[in-house]
A and B are shown apart, each in its own frame.
Chain A
Amino acid sequence: QVQLVESGGGVVQPGRSLRLSCAASTSAFRSDAMHWVRQAPGKGLQWVAVISYDGTNKYYADSVKGRFTISRDNSKNTVYLQMNSLRFEDTAIYYCARDRGILGWNPWGQGTLVTVSS
């Protein structure tokens, strides 16, 4: 059973950068696409980005395109989200999730909180 653990969140000033990590407990995740999803305080879920199993294909939500970069290192069982030019509206809990194709996204990590504040 794959487990996901996010890290790297914290408080950051507007315009600065932060890199989030999502570590998988087994190498089984190497065959799956991975997503980042965020949830602003008291709000709903917003998809952020996806990366294919081998890292060759990446897609982003319009709200983060050009500022965020998703990547993965399968040798380390880890997916990353590099967040640049952060804005107040990027404040959220960021979750990673494993894409099992038609079987849905499961599991999700516990989330890491990013707060953009001056």
Chain B
Amino acid sequence: DIQMTQSPSTLSASVGDRVTITCRASQSVSYWLAWYQQKPGKAPNLLIYKASSLESGVPSRFSGSGSGTEFTLTISSLQPDDFATYYCQQYNPYSPPLTFGGGTKVEIK
């Protein structure tokens, strides 16, 4: 099984900060990497697919990069609405099980 490791698990930041979250895969997932935002009591919301493609309707301050085993999610200027938990996911249909990272909680500093 492919293991997805996110770091950090918790991140304290201020409005306006540039924030970077890292996700590492135990083996290559090529570009089959997605990022989700989840707020308490809500379903996950797709932000980034194919490692770096922005989902329609998602603010452009979110960006993704990487391929193979190392990926990053960057929020260029943190906004109040961005305080949430973020998950990476490998969704290569040829490599089940489809796994998520452990999550990164972005908190107000």
Contact surface of A with B, Cβ cutoff 8 Å: 33, 35, 37, 44-47, 50, 59, 61-62, 95, 99, 101-106, 108-111
Q: Which residues of B contact A46 (CB under 8 A)?
A: 100
B interface SS class: loop
Flag if B43 contacts A104 (CB, 8 Å): no
Can you offer 11 A-B residue contacts whose CB atoms are under 8 A? A35-B98, A45-B38, A45-B44, A45-B103, A47-B100, A102-B49, A103-B49, A103-B53, A104-B34, A105-B91, A111-B43
Query: Chain B residues near A104 (CB, 8 Å)?
Result: 34, 46, 49-50, 55, 91
Query: Inside 8 A of B99's CB, which chain A residues have their CB?
Result: 47
B72-109 contacts to A (CB < 8 Å): 87, 89, 91, 93, 96-103
B100 close to A45 (CB less than 8 A)? yes
Does the CB pair A102–B32 fall under 8 Å? Answer: yes
List of B residues within 8 angstroms of A102 by Cβ: 31-32, 49-50
Nearest-neighbour CB distance to chain B for A30, whole angstroms, equals: 18
